Amino acid sequence: MALSTAAALEQPGPLIAAWSRPEGGQVQLSIFSVAGDKAQQFSIEELAQEDVAARRSAIARADLRNGTFDPSSARVWTITPAEFRAWGTKGLQLVGTDTTLQFGEHKIARADIARITVTVDAERIERALVAELKDGTTRTLTSEISSLAASYDQYGDDDLLFDSSWAIVLGQDLAEWLGVPFADRRFT
């Protein structure tokens, strides 16, 4: 059961105040706790766009890390000029520094990344966030298998758009932080 935002702010930290992208005039605020490699969502609250500035101001006084999350998944990420961190269902998934991007046990030089891309396999089951490198190779940074796509014979474009929204939002933010282009290749 989700806690209220006030109760979530009382939880042991470090805590992240994570904001969704605006949709339909609404923004969601969620409080996450991060400990080691795990992120735990404590609360989620929907706010009207006009109430966001006041809530951001109140949250800023609580001295929390700010982040972004995608409401359709359990992913949260934080961005500072010096660091990019993303947690998902498998724990800490991406760590970017001024020189490298680490994903799982692998590292690539930040300078080698040419583009960040979102892909979906031909069966529409696996969605992936991919780094295209300057040498023409690719590295899958994180991916997810959709059990719905695998089992539902009426799975369509709208389902794919919803199921893969986490990859788009995370990919756009990562590409912007890296200073490289972003490409959405879900339907190619």
Mean of per-residue pLDDT scores for the chain: 88
Long-range Cβ contacts of 144-150 (<8 Å, 24+ apart):
144/73, 144/88, 144/89, 149/123, 149/124, 149/125, 150/123, 150/125
Q: Is pLDDT of 135 > 80?
A: yes
Confidence of residue 137 (pLDDT cuts 50, 70, 90): very high
Report d(CA 158, CA 187) in Å as an integer.
Answer: 12
Phi (first) and psi of residue 180, to 5 degrees: -125, 165
93 φ/ψ sector (left φ>0, alpha ψ -120 to 50, else beta): alpha
Residues with Cβ within 8 Å of 52's Cβ and at least 6 positions away in sequence, in order, are 19, 27
46 φ/ψ sector (left φ>0, alpha ψ -120 to 50, else beta): beta
Per residue in 19-44, pLDDT (tens digit) is 998 888 889 999 999 887 889 899 99
Per residue in 44-86, pLDDT (tens digit) is 999 998 898 888 888 877 778 889 998 888 789 999 999 999 9
Core vs surface per residue 86-119: b (16+ CB within 10 A) or e: bbbeeebbbebeeeebbbeeeebebeebebbbbb
**pLDDT of 160:** 66
Confidence of residue 2 (pLDDT cuts 50, 70, 90): confident
Domains identified in the chain and CATH numbers:
5-69 (3.10.20), 80-185 (2.30.29)
Q: Are the C-beta atoms of residues 152 and 159 closer than 8 Å to each other?
A: yes
Per residue in 97-121, pLDDT (tens digit) is 999 999 989 999 999 999 999 998 8
